[in-house]
Amino acid sequence: MPFLDEVKTALPSEWYYDPQHYERELESIWYQDWVCVARAEEIPNVGDFIVKKVGNQSAMIVRGSNNEISAFHNTCRHRGSTICTKNSGHFANGRIICPYHTWTYALSGELVATPYRTDSDDFSMSNYSLYHIPIDIWGGFIFLNLNKKTGQSLEGFLGEEGNNLSNWPLDQMTSVHQETKTLKFNWKLFWENYNECYHCPRTHPELCKLVPVYNKGLVSRDELSDEEQGIKRGTGDGVETWTIDGKIQLPIIPGPTAEERERGMVYASFTASMYLVGHPDYVRSVRIFPTGPETTDLVIDWLLMPGTKEKHADKLDHMLELGRLVVEQDGAACELNQEGLRSKAHISGILVAQEYWVWEFHEWVKSRLDGNT
C-alpha cells in the first residue's frame, strides 16, 4: 500500500501568499525548468508571434523564415523596452521592431537596423541580438526554459511520463477549443488538489460516477484493499470516456492500444507547468501559469484529429461539458483553500494517509528551494 505511515505536516501557510517566498519559488522552480507555454499551431505562418509570461518574465515566441520556432525575451537590447505589446500577431516584412527607438531585428533575433542612430566605430550590430530563450517542442507543445545554462534536455525533463501518451498522435492533433481561467489561489494548491482524490466524492460527484476508485476518495487502484482489487482500472464498467454520460460521440483516435482505450483515461504529468489526459476520443491538456502569490491562470485545450471539429461540430459540447465542470469544481475548492490559509491561527496543515502524492509534491518543492538558496 502506498499510504503515508503517519500524519505529515504540510507546507507553511505563508508559502502560499508571501510575496518574497513566491519570488523564491519563481527563481528556484519556474525559471529553472522546462515550462509548457503554447501549441505550435498557434503560430502557423512565418512571422507569426505569441507572447507568453512565466512569472514576471515575458517571452516572444516566433515562427522564423526557416519555419522553425524561436523564443526571445520580450526586451529590446537597446535600453530594455518591451517590444511586443500584444499577446499575438504577425511581424510584417519579417522584421521585429521596438516601438521606442525603432531598433529592428530579424525573425531569427539578429539586430539588422538602428534608424537615426549616430554612427560610432565601437558599435557592432552583431553584438546586440535579442536575448535568446532555449526552446523545444514535444507532441506539438512548445516548451521553453528560462535557465540558459540548463544541462537538462526537454526529453530528460519529461522522463518516463513523456511516454505515457506515446500512442496518441499529439503532434498531429489540433486544439479545437481553448479556455483560460484566472483563479485566486497559489499555483501549489492546484498541484495538491491534482495529487489527491480525498476531495473527489464531495467535490466531483459526476466524475466519481465514471471512475470507481475516485468514488472511494482514492487516486489509484493500488490503494485498494485485496477485497476491492476487482474494481476496474480507469473508468468503470460501461464507461467509455470522460463525458457526462460516459459515452463516446466522436471518432476514436487512431494509435492507442485496446487496453488504453478500455482504460478510458491515461495521464501524463509534468510538474509544475502541465498535465494531459488521453481519452479514446480526445485529449485534454491543462497548462498552469503562476501570475502572483495568490493567483494562477489555467489554460485548458481540447485536442482532436484534424477535420473532426468540422465534421462533428454538434458533438463538441458533449466533449467539453465534464472537463469544464471539473475545472470549475476544483477551482472553487482551491480558492476556498487559499482564503482559509490567511488565518493567523493556521500555521500549516496536515496530510493524512492517502495524501501521499501531496507529501511527495511538498518534498519536491522543499528540495528545489534547498537546492537553489
pLDDT tens column, 314-346: 999 999 999 999 999 999 999 999 999 999 999
Task: Give the pLDDT mean for 115-122.
Answer: 94
Whether pLDDT at 156 is above 80: yes
Whether pLDDT at 23 is above 90: yes
Whether pLDDT at 8 is above 60: yes
Domains of the chain as residue ranges with CATH: 1-17+164-373 (3.90.380.10), 34-159 (2.102.10.10)
- Give the per-residue pLDDT at 220: 80
Q: Crossing angle, helix 356-371 and helix 187-194, to 10 degrees?
A: 140
> Going by C-beta distance under 8 Å and a sequence separation of 6 or more, which residues neighbour residue 208?
200, 201, 214, 215
Cα–Cα distance for residue pair 117/111, rounded to 1 Å = 13
What mean pLDDT is reported for the chain? 95
What is the reported pTM? 0.94
- How far CA 173 is from CA of 7, 205, 226, 301, in Å, comes to 43, 30, 40, 11
Whether pLDDT at 231 is above 80: no
- Give the per-residue pLDDT at 373: 47
Nearest to 240 by CA among 230, 231, 249: 249
State pLDDT tens for residues 63-74: 999 999 999 999
pLDDT classification of 87: cutoffs 50, 70, 90: very high
Whether pLDDT at 116 is above 90: yes
> Going by C-beta distance under 8 Å and a sequence separation of 6 or more, which residues neighbour residue 7?
350, 351, 352
- E-strand stretches of 55-204: 57-63, 69-73, 88-90, 95-97, 104-106, 111-113, 132-133, 135-138, 141-145, 174-183
pLDDT classification of 36: cutoffs 50, 70, 90: very high
